[in-house]
Structure 1
Amino acid sequence: MPFKKVETHDFLTPEEKQVLGDGSEIEVALVGPELQMYKKPMWLKIGGMSNNMNYVLKNNWSDFVEANKNVLKEGTAIQVWSFRKGEQLCFAVVCVDKPMVNTTSLEDASSAGSSLIS
């Protein structure tokens, strides 16, 4: 998820920002486009060059795409949303025909979740 495409970076706690900024990874949970919690662990890290940074979901990403191949096809528009289950950072991958988030109303979004990219 390219930093430039992320609507808000407020989905991370200060501690998570520190961990990722130090080059480490944090374990996250992932909900697929058919609203099921993906069972295998996924890790979030920051990667890329200094002027082209990305949030990267790794470890089992290819398995996640394969498990959702009926929905996640090349050219499918997706949004990635963040939320928390207790203290656990989670993401939901949502397939959309067109972007559903109005960027001018993000400040009205619930703290329970926020769109990351569209």
Structure 2
Amino acid sequence: MVKLEDMEDVMMKKDHWEKFDALVEVAFVAGQQEEDEEREKKMREEMEEAVALLSLAAKKHCKNVQRPYQQPNMEPPPDMPESFRRKIMEMGGENVAFVIEKMLFDTDVSAGHNRLSMPMSQIRQDFVTEEERKRLDSTDANINGVEVILVEPSLEEDEVMLKKWKMKRNSILYVLIKNWNSVVDRNGLGAGDVVRVWSFRVGSKLGFALVRVGDEEDEGKKGKSTGKKEKDGGSGSGSGSGSGSKGQEAEDNGGNEVGLGSTSHANMMCS
């Protein structure tokens, strides 16, 4: 619809208007308005069509992207040492899955903390059942943990407790507690050691295999300790390895500052 303000520029050109001239000018302005509206509508339709085509192309691309692991752009998981694989088979274990590689911090090996932390942001594959998840998420202190088997670096078996802790900045950790100090002492674990963790199942029971990177395997001696490291300061605390409490705080906050070469957390366009 042509409004009075639409005609202001035209009306300023003449002091006096004949009826016919006025009608012609109104028709001309109306025609220009209609053309502008059609042009704008066509541009809007073309833009919407382009966005739709880009969206469809992105979906097709993402559908064809292979994502074998839960977290994006990670290198393939390492192979489990043969001695651990045999140990798990002897136990009747199955469903072996790589969980995490991390550097041990002072708080992972100190007697006062008595726990191993595994930030959920660095977990490579989910390993809990729905029932275990409910227990871990429960606010009831009597049930919010899961008893699990632990195969130590020495290939000895122990039982520890798996719990889920919510930390500041909304980060979440899986932690292994109960008997963890004994595991540290028996295996000579210290701050700065790099460990890898695999999960497995013996029947319905959850288990973990803890492997220290760099331990030499003695294939001819099953069940014996294959890698107790000699440490200058004795067992356990490892305060001189340079890992420090700041790095542990970053890990507890869910950050990836730990930064081992085997796992790079790059973003992908497809999620």
Q: Same fold (TM over 0.5)?
A: yes
Distance (Å, rounded) in 2 between the aligned partners of 1:48 and 1:59: 18
Structure 2 SS opposite 1:33: coil
Residue in 2 aligned with 1:20? 136
Q: Does 1:66 align with 2:66?
A: no
State the identity as a percent. 39
TM-score (norm 1): 0.73
Max radius of gyration: which structure? 2
Unaligned runs of 5+ in 2: 1-117, 215-259, 264-271
Q: Does 1:91 align with 2:211?
A: no
Distance (Å, rounded) in 1 between the aligned partners of 2:262 and 2:196: 9
CA deviation profile, 1:33-75 (whole Å, cap 9, x unmatched): 122212xx31111013262110011111111111111xx2321
Residue in 2 aligned with 1:35? 155
Pick the structure with more helix per residue.
2
Count of paired positions: 98
Pick the structure with more strand per residue.
1
Distance (Å, rounded) in 1 between the aligned partners of 2:145 and 2:201: 17
Distance (Å, rounded) in 1 between the aligned partners of 2:128 and 2:146: 11
- Counterpart of 2:152 in structure 1: which amino acid? G
Structure 2 residue corresponding to 1:57, chosen from 163, 176, 181: 176
Distance (Å, rounded) in 2 between the aligned partners of 1:79 and 1:26: 20
Q: Does 1:44 align with 2:162?
A: yes
Name the stretch that deviates more: 50-59 or 76-85.
50-59
Unaligned runs of 5+ in 1: 102-118
The structure whose RCO (Cα within 8 Å, separation 6+) is larger is 1
Distance (Å, rounded) in 2 between the aligned partners of 1:99 and 1:59: 30
Distance (Å, rounded) in 2 between the aligned partners of 1:32 and 1:99: 23
- Counterpart of 2:204 in structure 1: which amino acid? E
Distance (Å, rounded) in 1 between the aligned partners of 2:185 and 2:206: 23
Structure 2 SS opposite 1:75: coil
CA deviation profile, 1:12-44 (whole Å, cap 9, x unmatched): 111111111114001001000122212xx3111
TM-score (norm 2): 0.33
Q: CA RMSD in A?
A: 2.3
Within 5 Å, give how 1:77-116 maps onto structure 2: 77-97=194-214
Distance (Å, rounded) in 2 between the aligned partners of 1:78 and 1:66: 15
